[in-house]
Chain A
């Protein structure tokens, strides 16, 4: 991972904010061997306060996962990063792997999509939960074992789970164990990448509830990336919608999902089947833009029913607590 220029955002320079995650002007390019590159994240600003539950919503390829991988310093070597990420006041991108190591586990941890592949099949669950605490020098083996039992209880698993192997657990139990592992070193920020997608509906609900509950009781900032609108509605207080590598809407979940301001969010909601509402589904015409070609203006303009001349210029996020990046919104406002 190469870092292309990072300047600290003013908020950090000014010190004492309650935000635990500050992403400013984040850009990520994936460089292909043939010299081309895909611009996956194209300038994202995101500030998350301690204890805040944020859901990042978007379809595949919108850059939502890339953004959180960048925040954890987990991008592959062929990625270039611009902008800055501050986690708990620490500049993650400043000194490459060294600074990323300083924040991982202890300041921020991540729950991945496939609980099956997130655990090592040949080690007992307890060892895998205890390892990060020992590796990061937080606890001795014995203390870590003690803490493992507490963590398992916290995520609703019997303490005997520590002696089991991952294959002996069901999908839901495994995802709980992975969450326990992520909490091992008491991070301030918990990133969750599609934490429920691989699970059954009933288990999805259990895991969603657990994550929201943990964020509240532990004062964790939860950043959950998902394409599941319902999941965001049930677990997050704030919803951020991404499209083609940019944030197009950001606001209180209820407002975003019931009174969306960006045309993309509105169409996405209309395209989503809802179990207790009977209405025709719409599909959004066209496909998202290619990220390996330059995008000028609003990335959604080509698929947007409301597009007009102004859309040739990239729109900025406007609004107070519920912001959206759309020129049509600026037009609506009384002059």
Chain B
């Protein structure tokens, strides 16, 4: 693939080693300007701004699977899209393999797309119904000019199909999307990303549209990719159970901020932030050792109306005076220094009533 040597991507090969993260997001912010309302115009104010993502920092290593969890509207998809520069960040930097991609000119975005791929939620909508599997997968190769010959293209497609477990390859290569099941479609979509040899995969709710019986297969596929191919995977999900099963680390988002970040099992078993606790507690389950207490009151917040202090304070049962005024930073939790949490009480060991549900 040396044919693709481009000055803008060159640093990847040189600085790939030691200490550097595959993806590093620093203080990322994405704000959307809302339409100026009539009352804004009367008062000669500017329009309101929805602060979808407001100061998110995280890292992802090669071969790592990081789950970004949160409710709808928490900013998880916006974070991921900005990290791929499919959305222009308002502020902050995104380093992919050490290179700041927020400063890349538009002409250099295409080589970036080869290194960082997005897998969509809905495999029914993500595939062109008029293309056969082989063309769906080869399309990316053709766009990126990676097809020196028909044979090379065929080989690359077969290889990708094999990696995603769609065998016999010859049969699946000739199928149209409507001839495939939901799980098979998602595999085709993943193969279409893999064929470019990306180092980063962003999977936006990759299994939420699929039936339970095939979900495990897709999750195992993603797990294998990061183990065997060393691909770093940022998986967006609202399903904590899925996150608990496949990810190394979990990052919990609320209202455009990260509220908790740590090893998956630790965060799920001993959540530190009151929001994470409520979220985990709300997951319906078969085995519950105690009666479910009343779940979190209220609704997810409105990105255009940001509360003062801790953004979770209007819904928090532990809320104190300073939570209304001081914004908590993401600091090591007293209960578990391996976990970062943005809560005044959890970082000072004042949050004693951690709900337990082993």
Chain B residues lying within 8 Å of A200, measured Cβ to Cβ, are 71-72, 238, 300
Contact A268 B212 (CB under 8 A): yes
Q: Is residue A113 within 8 Å, beta carbon to beta carbon, of the partner chain?
A: no
B3-11, B50-58, B110-118, B283-291: which lies at the A interface? B283-291
If A273-B242, A275-B244, A283-B214 touch, whether A202 touches B296 (CB-CB below 8 Å) is yes
Q: Which chain A residues in 193-210 approach chain B with CB under 8 Å? A: 200-206, 208-209
B216 touching A229, Cβ below 8 Å: no
Q: Which residues of B contact A234 (CB under 8 A)?
A: 284-285, 288, 292
CB-based contact A278/B285 at 8 Å: no
**A202 near B284 (CB under 8 angstroms)?**
no
What is the CA–CA distance of A234 and B219 in the complex, to the nearest angstrom? 26
Across-interface contacts of A235 in B (CB, < 8 A):
284
- Could you say which of A202, A271, A276 contacts B213, with CB atoms under 8 Å apart? A271
Residues of chain B with a CB closer than 8 A to A203's CB:
299
* Pairwise interchain contact A205-B292, C-beta atoms closer than 8 A: yes
Most buried by B among A202, A231, A268: A202
Count of A-B contacts with CB under 8 A?
116
Q: Are B285's CB and A274's CB within 8 A?
A: yes
A170 touches B216 (CB 8 A): no
- Is the beta-carbon distance between A257 and B286 smaller than 8 angstroms? yes
The listed residue (B216, B282, B286) touching A205 by CB distance below 8 A is B282
Contact with B along A176-204 (1 / 0, CB 8 A): 00000000000000000000000011111
B242 touches A59 (CB 8 A): no
Query: Contact at B216–A282, with CB atoms within 8 Å?
Result: yes
Q: Is the interface of A mostly helix, strand, loop or mixed?
A: helix
- In the complex, whether B168 has a CB less than 8 A from a CB of chain A is no
Rounded to whole angstroms, the CA-CA distance of A273 and B300 in the bound complex is: 25
Instruction: Chain B residues near A158: list those with CB within 8 A.
Output: none
Contact with B along A123-152 (1 / 0, CB 8 A): 000000000000000000000000000000
Q: Known contacts A200-B300, A273-B239; is A228 also within 8 Å of B215 by CB?
A: no
Which residues from 243 to 277 on chain A have a C-beta closer than 8 Å to any C-beta of chain B? Answer: 254, 257-258, 267-268, 271-277
Smallest beta-carbon distance A269→chain B, Å: 8
A322 to chain B, nearest CB (A): 15
Q: How far is the CA of A258 from the CA of B244 in the complex (A)?
A: 21
Interface string of A305-321 (1 = CB under 8 A from B): 00000000000000000
Is A331 an interface residue, CB under 8 A from the partner? no
Decide if A276 touches B216 in the complex (CB within 8 Å). Answer: no
Q: Are A202 and B285 in contact (CB under 8 A)?
A: no
Any B CB within 8 A of the CB of A284: yes
Verify B240–A284 contact, CB threshold 8 A: no
Asked if B151 CB lies within 8 Å of chain A CBs, one says: no
- Enumerate B149-185 residues with CB–CB distance to A below 8 Å: 181-183
Of chain A, the residue at the smallest CB distance from B298 is A202
* Given A202-B278, A230-B286, A275-B268, A172:B299 Cβ within 8 A: yes
Chain B residues with CB under 8 Å of A229's CB are 212, 286
Confirm or deny: A281 has a beta carbon within 8 angstroms of a beta carbon on chain B.
yes
Specify which of A234, A254, A275 lies most central, judged by the most chain B CB atoms within 10 Å of its CB.
A275
CB neighbours (8 Å) of B295 from chain A are 202, 205-206, 209
Give the contacting residue for B357; candidates A206, A273, A276; CB below 8 A.
A276
B13 to chain A: which residues have CB within 8 Å? Answer: none
Q: What would 12 A/B residue contacts be, using CB atoms closer than 8 Å?
A: A59-B211, A59-B213, A200-B72, A201-B71, A202-B300, A268-B213, A271-B212, A272-B212, A275-B280, A278-B265, A282-B216, A283-B213
**A residues lining the B interface (CB < 8 Å):** 59-60, 170, 172-173, 200-206, 208-209, 227-231, 233-235, 254, 257-258, 267-268, 271-278, 281-284, 287
In addition to A200-B238, A202-B279, 10 A-B residue pairs with Cβ atoms within 8 Å of each other are: A201-B238, A257-B286, A271-B212, A272-B212, A272-B241, A275-B285, A276-B285, A281-B215, A282-B216, A287-B183
